Amino acid sequence: VDDQKSSYHHGNLPDTLLEHAVEVLHEGGVEGLSLREVARRAGVSHNAAYRHYADKKSLLASMAVWGFNTLSARIAGAVAPFSGAPRTRLFAAVRTYVNFGLEYPHLLRIMFGDLPHSDYPELRATARKAFDLLLDILAEGQQQGIIASGDLRQMALTCWATFHGLTEILVAQKIPFQDPDALENEQIVRSTLEVLLQGFSPHKGKD
């Protein structure tokens, strides 16, 4: 961001608005997110946004897309160093997911359902991209024999759902036991993943 820039033309308003929107959302939730407030933060008149976003929902959609892209990038980054070790990769991935959710709880909610799904194909595509990262890791696990053969998509869905739900619960601080000896988030994530991996394991203990 260059302060020397012309004070009339902004340079990169769309992205600047997006950044401030994410910030406003973070502070006040969806209820507190208004185009006017976002414009205010961007130091721009309250209707300048209409030059770049058709309406409020359009901005929300862009935020969700940004969210999925950021999430994907973080997961990809967290997973990269552990090539060939799907267990470690998976842990890195879900840990990243949970942390992302703890960092942007309201954004996560926008990403999942505050928007008319099918109206925004770009949203769908970026969500799909994030899901594919998970699929790849599980596929690798399957090749290495630590995950049973079977429908990978179903397993990926179960995995996603588990950590999505865990994130929401951690965010809400609605864990119904809040003892002083409560587990740290990190540990909760780890042991949840272990349950899941045992469930995915090919070594079935038939009884």
Partner DNA sequence: TGTACATCAGTGAACGCGCGTTCACTGATGTAC
Q: Which residues bind its own copies (CB under 8 A)?
A: 29-31, 105, 109, 112-114, 117, 127-128, 131-132, 146, 153-155, 157-158, 160-169, 171-177, 183, 188, 191-192, 194-207
d(CA 66, CA 53): 14
Residue 138's nearest CA partner among 78, 96, 93 is 93
The residue from 46, 117, 128, 153 that contacts DNA (CB under 7 A) is 46
The listed partner (its own copies, DNA, none) that binds 127, CB under 5 to 8 Å by sort, is: its own copies
Stretch that binds DNA, among 10-18, 89-97, 134-142, 154-162 (CB under 7 A): 10-18
Binding of residue 45 to DNA (CB under 7 A): yes
Two structure tokens written together for 107? 């954004």
Identify how many contiguous H helices and E strands the chain contains and give both numbers: 8, 0
At position 38, the amino acid (one-letter code) is V
Q: Which of 19, 34, 129, 160 binds DNA (CB under 7 A)?
A: 34
d(CA 173, CA 167): 10
Note whether 115 binds DNA by CB under 7 A: no
| Closest to its own copies by CB, 93 or 166 | 166
Nearest Cα residue to 71 out of 116, 114, 153, 126: 126
What is the closest distance, in whole angstroms, from the C-beta atom of residue 193 to DNA in the complex?
39
